[in-house]
Amino acid sequence: MRLNFSFFVEFFLHLDTHLSNLMQQYGTTVYIFLFFVIFCETGLVVTPFLPGDSLIFAAGALVATGIMSWGALPLFIVAAITGNMLNYQIGRLLNTKMKQREKVRFVKREYLDRTQKFFDKYGGATIIITRFMPILRTFSPFVAGIGKMPYRRFLFFNAIGGLSWATAFFLIGYFFGNLPLVKSHFSIIVVGIVGVSILPALIAFLRGRKTAREEDENI
């Protein structure tokens, strides 16, 4: 298990190098792998740990060097949108069970509750906002399905979110991924992307805990 985790971390921190090597060894077959990584990160609540942001960023950087083609962008967009559609349907199917159980196997109740708070505050726009937040983007379509958000309304926000998220990180990688400063500090950039993405959710979580603590003290 330690070896597997170490490999995952090393692969994650050096995505640009590994993707480049994979493209040279397996060619266009790698696009199928990339599609399923993005699809699973957004489509399955058990895989929120997959590196969607960083993967798209690295792919954009490789397109700029000619190692990958622009065809990767629509592939990412389709994977992001269809993954969320699957996640929404799973949420609808598990609607009753999820609401009745305090503990849910394979899913942290904390993540579900935190995502629900975003829906309470931002409504359907949560699908777009959480696209840029690791973990929460995996749970937002799931929670939308549990809450039985009208499907057409979900599709509208899902399409905007998937398109904007994939395009934004892809273009950032394309224009900035090959700058000498970025290439020489790619691992730090990758960690920074995740950190900046998580920061809003972390702040909201800490504020929620502070509010809950203050309410307990006033009782």
Per-residue pLDDT reduced to its tens digit, 108-126: 667 677 777 778 888 888 9
Q: What percent of the chain has pLDDT over 70?
A: 70
What is the value of pTM for the model shown?
0.78
What is the model's pLDDT at position 212? Answer: 55
Domain count, the chain: 1
In the predicted model, is pLDDT for residue 49 greater than 60?
yes
Return the HEC string of the chain.
CHHHHHHHHHHHHCHHHHHHHHHHHHCCHHHHHHHHHHHHHHHCCCCCCCCHHHHHHHHHHHHHHCCCCCCHHHHHHHHHHHHHHHHHHHHHHCHHHHHHCCCECCECHHHHHHHHHHHHHHHHHHHHHHHHCCCHHHHHHHHHHHCCCCHHHHHHHHHHHHHHHHHHHHHHHHHHCCCHHHHHCHHHHHHHHHHHHHHHHHHHHHHHHHHHHHHHHHC
pLDDT for the residue numbered 72: 95
113: domain range?
2-218
Q: Give the range with max mean pLDDT: 3-17, 119-133, 182-196.
A: 119-133
Average pLDDT, the chain: 80
* Helix axis angle, 186-218 to 52-65, nearest 10°: 160
- Structure confidence at residue 85 as a pLDDT band (50, 70, 90): very high
The pLDDT assigned to 16 comes to 65
For 49, phi and psi rounded to 5 degrees?
Answer: -80, -10
The encoded tokens of residue 45 equal 């609540």
When pLDDT is averaged across residues 145-170 and rounded to a whole number, the result is 93
**Mean pLDDT confidence for 82-104:** 79
For residue 3, what pLDDT is reported? 46
Rounded to the nearest 10 degrees, how much is the dihedral formed by the CA atoms of 91, 38, 173, 198? 40
Can you tell me the distance from the alpha carbon of 133 to that of 135, in angstroms, rounded to the nearest whole number?
A: 6
- Position with higher pLDDT, 54 vs 99: 54
Q: Which residue has the higher pLDDT, 157 or 199?
A: 157
